[in-house]
């Protein structure tokens, strides 16, 4: 997570939203986007309503770390950053009459597209009924 962000991690409501998952996360904090880039090498994808490529058409490599990067919900990513990385800017298709999707929904969509392309590593693929057997 790159500071500044518009919420606090220790916020009671934020912790409640991730109720069963906090112990599964490795959260790293950076004071600037420059510090993030200095400390992390991999493939970067900038999710933005201004992207020229659809997120599902991008190829997310499996042989190096992939970073899906989002901006603040109210402002998005800085245009200077987007302009410097035009081929890595991707968008989630949506209606032209809408401003943008909710940030948490966008992160979920992006994450599952990467996982889909990687054939859902370490994820369960079969559901079970509680009263019946398939």
Annotated binding site: 71, 92, 100
The count of C-alpha atoms lying within 13 angstroms of the C-alpha of 6, restricted to the half-sphere facing its C-beta, is 8
Annotated binding site for S-adenosyl-L-methionine: 71, 92, 100
Nearest-CA neighbor of 107 among 54, 66, 68, 58? 68
Cβ atoms within 10 Å, residue 17: 11
């Amino acid at each position: 997570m790159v500071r500044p962000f518009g919420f606090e991690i220790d916020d009671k409501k934020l912790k409640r939203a991730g109720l069963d998952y906090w112990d599964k996360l490795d959260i790293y904090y950076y004071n600037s986007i420059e510090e993030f880039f200095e400390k992390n090498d991999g493939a970067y994808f900038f999710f933005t309503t201004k992207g020229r490529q659809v997120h599902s058409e991008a190829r997310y490599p499996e042989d190096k770390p992939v970073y899906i990067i989002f901006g603040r919900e109210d402002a998005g990513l800085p245009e200077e950053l987007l302009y410097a990385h035009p081929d890595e800017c991707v968008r989630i298709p949506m209606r032209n009459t809408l401003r943008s999707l909710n940030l948490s929904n966008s992160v979920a969509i992006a994450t599952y597209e990467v996982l889909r392309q990687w054939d859902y590593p370490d994820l369960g693929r079969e559901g079970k009924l509680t009263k019946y057997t398939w």
